[in-house]
Structure 1
Amino acid sequence: MKFIKSIFDKEGNDIEKFNKLDLDERSIVFYSENSVILYPYVEEIIRELQNRDQKVCYLTSSKDDPILKNKNENVRVFYIGDSELEKMKFFLRLKAKMLIMTMPDLGSYHIKRSKVFPVHYVYVFHTITSTHMVFQKNAFDQFDSMFCVGPYQIQELRATEQLYNLKQKNLVECGSGLIDKLIRSRSSLPQQQNFLSKNNKKNILIAPSWGKQNLLESIGIELVKILLDAGYYVTVRPHPMTIKKSPKIIKQILEKFEKNPDFLLDTNTSSFEQLFSSYALITDWSGIGHEYAFVCERPVIYVDVPKKDYNKEYEKIGLVPFEISIRDKIGEIIAVQNIETIPERIEFLYDPSNNFENKIQKIRNDSIFNIGESGKVTANEIIRIISEKA
Structure 2
Amino acid sequence: MLTAFRRMLREWSGLQAFKRIPRKERTLVFYSEGRGYWTYFEPIYKALQENHAAPILYVTSAEDDPLVQTPLAGMRSFYVGEGSVRTLFFSTLDADVLLMTMPDLQSFHIKRSPFSVHYVYLHHSIVSTHMIYRAAAFDHFDSILCVGPHHVNETRTREQQLGLPKKILIEHGYGRLDTILDNGRQGPPERHGAPIQILVAPTWGENGLIERHGLDVIKPLIDAGLRVVLRPHPRTRKLNPEMLDKMIAPYIDDPRFRLDENADATTSLLESDIMLSDWSGAALEFSLGLERPIIFIDVPRKVLNPKYAAMGIEPIEVQAREHLGVVVTTDKLAQLGEIACTVAAESKKWQTALKDARERWIYNTGKSGETAAAYLVSLTKQ
Q: 1:336 to 1:367 in 2, by over 3 A?
A: same
The correspondence of residues 223-234 of structure 1 with structure 2, limited to 5 A, is 223-234=217-228
1:91-126 superposed Cα distances (whole Å, 9 cap, x missing partner): 1111111111111000112211002x1111111000
- The answer to whether the Cα contact below 8 Å between 1:330 and 1:360 also exists between their aligned partners in 2 is yes
Partner of 1:99: 98
- The answer to whether the Cα contact below 8 Å between 2:224 and 2:338 also exists between their aligned partners in 1 is no
2:315 maps to 1:321: yes
Q: 1:169 to 1:192 in 2, by over 3 A?
A: closer
Q: Separation in 1 of the partners of 2:283 and 2:39?
A: 17
The correspondence of residues 48-127 of structure 1 with structure 2, limited to 5 A, is 48-51=47-50, 52-83=52-83, 85-115=84-114, 117-127=115-125
- The answer to whether the Cα contact below 8 Å between 1:208 and 1:239 also exists between their aligned partners in 2 is yes
- The answer to whether the Cα contact below 8 Å between 1:210 and 1:239 also exists between their aligned partners in 2 is yes
377-386 or 150-159, which deviates more: 377-386
Report the alpha carbon displacement of residue 2 of structure 1 after superposing the two structures with TM: 7.5
- The answer to whether the Cα contact below 8 Å between 1:91 and 1:114 also exists between their aligned partners in 2 is yes
Classify the secondary structure of the residue corresponding to 1:77: strand
> What is the identity, as a one-letter code, of the residue corresponding to 2:353?
K
261-270 or 159-168, which deviates more: 261-270
Partner of 1:27: 27
Q: Separation in 2 of the partners of 1:69 and 1:323?
A: 37
Q: CA RMSD in A?
A: 1.9
Partner of 2:131: 133
- The answer to whether the Cα contact below 8 Å between 1:39 and 1:67 also exists between their aligned partners in 2 is no
- The answer to whether the Cα contact below 8 Å between 1:26 and 1:96 also exists between their aligned partners in 2 is yes
- The answer to whether the Cα contact below 8 Å between 2:129 and 2:151 also exists between their aligned partners in 1 is yes
1:183 to 177, 181, 184: 181
221-230 or 63-72, which deviates more: 63-72
Partner of 2:152: 154
- The answer to whether the Cα contact below 8 Å between 2:200 and 2:277 also exists between their aligned partners in 1 is yes
350-359 or 250-259, which deviates more: 350-359
Classify the secondary structure of the residue corresponding to 1:16: helix
- The answer to whether the Cα contact below 8 Å between 1:196 and 1:279 also exists between their aligned partners in 2 is no
Q: Separation in 2 of the partners of 1:69 and 1:111?
A: 26
The correspondence of residues 292-311 of structure 1 with structure 2, limited to 5 A, is 292-311=286-305
Report the alpha carbon displacement of residue 25 of structure 1 after superposing the two structures with TM: 1.6
1:211-239 superposed Cα distances (whole Å, 9 cap, x missing partner): 11110111121111111111111111100
2:249 maps to 1:255: yes
Report the alpha carbon displacement of residue 209 of structure 1 after superposing the two structures with TM: 0.2
Partner of 1:333: 327
Q: Separation in 1 of the partners of 2:192 and 2:62?
A: 34
Q: Separation in 2 of the partners of 1:230 and 1:176?
A: 35
2:281 maps to 1:287: yes
1:9-31 superposed Cα distances (whole Å, 9 cap, x missing partner): 33222211110111232111111
Classify the secondary structure of the residue corresponding to 2:36: coil
Partner of 1:194: 190
Q: Separation in 2 of the partners of 1:208 and 1:368?
A: 22
- The answer to whether the Cα contact below 8 Å between 1:30 and 1:99 also exists between their aligned partners in 2 is yes
Q: Separation in 2 of the partners of 1:7 and 1:196?
A: 50
Q: Separation in 2 of the partners of 1:25 and 1:367?
A: 37
Classify the secondary structure of the residue corresponding to 1:29: strand
Partner of 1:211: 205
> What is the identity, as a one-letter code, of the residue corresponding to 2:112?
R
Classify the secondary structure of the residue corresponding to 1:248: helix
> What is the identity, as a one-letter code, of the residue corresponding to 1:373?
K
1:57-107 superposed Cα distances (whole Å, 9 cap, x missing partner): 110010122322434341111111221x22222211111111111110001
> What is the identity, as a one-letter code, of the residue corresponding to 1:301?
I
Q: Separation in 2 of the partners of 1:174 and 1:50?
A: 18
> What is the identity, as a one-letter code, of the residue corresponding to 2:189?
Q
> What is the identity, as a one-letter code, of the residue corresponding to 1:43?
E
**Contiguous gaps of at least 5 residues in structure 1:** none
> What is the identity, as a one-letter code, of the residue corresponding to 2:337?
P
Q: Separation in 1 of the partners of 2:153 and 2:159?
A: 10
So what's the TM-score if we normalise by structure 1? 0.93
- The answer to whether the Cα contact below 8 Å between 1:365 and 1:371 also exists between their aligned partners in 2 is yes
| Structure with bigger RCO (C-alpha 8 Å, 6+ apart) | 2
Classify the secondary structure of the residue corresponding to 1:122: strand
Classify the secondary structure of the residue corresponding to 1:350: helix
Report the alpha carbon displacement of residue 295 of structure 1 after superposing the two structures with TM: 1.3
2:13 maps to 1:13: yes
1:272 to 266, 272, 281: 266
Q: 1:196 to 1:18 in 2, by over 3 A?
A: farther
Q: Separation in 2 of the partners of 1:152 and 1:55?
A: 32
1:177-218 superposed Cα distances (whole Å, 9 cap, x missing partner): 11111111x21x598733589xx3221111100011110111
So what's the TM-score if we normalise by structure 2? 0.95
Q: Separation in 2 of the partners of 1:258 and 1:48?
A: 41
**Contiguous gaps of at least 5 residues in structure 2:** none
Q: 1:79 to 1:149 in 2, by over 3 A?
A: same
236-245 or 13-22, which deviates more: 13-22
